[in-house]
Amino acid sequence: MKKMTCKQLGGACDEVFEAETFNDMARLSQEHGMAMFQQQDAAHLEAMAAMKTLMENPEAMQAWFEARKKEFEALPDNQ
């Protein structure tokens, strides 16, 4: 299991997610984002707006995604 925070994944808080794979990590982050959207959390809404802007440029979005994946892969496995 590896750990990353919401902030490390482009979010706005220090909530920690644990997952075996980067895809699982991304799914946990998305679920958290949806919950924060439903709560209309201002900080997360701002982070989502920044992500939406990033998504308008496919190359930039791909580079961001690959950087997060490399960061995940470089993390040590937690016991």
- Chain position carrying tokens 């997060």: 68
Determine the structural domain holding residue 49 and report its residue range.
Answer: 2-74
**Contacts (Cβ under 8 Å, ≥6 apart) of 76:** 2
Is residue 79 predicted with pLDDT exceeding 70? no
- Chain position carrying tokens 């958290």: 32
pLDDT digits (tens, 9 = 90+) for 58-74: 999 999 999 999 999 99
On whether residue 79 sits in a domain, the answer given is: no
Cross-strand pairs, 2: 19
- Record the pTM: 0.89
**CB of 7 closer than 8 Å to CB of 16:** no
Structural domains in the chain (count): 1
Mean pLDDT of the 24-50 span: 96
Q: Which amino acid is at 10?
A: G
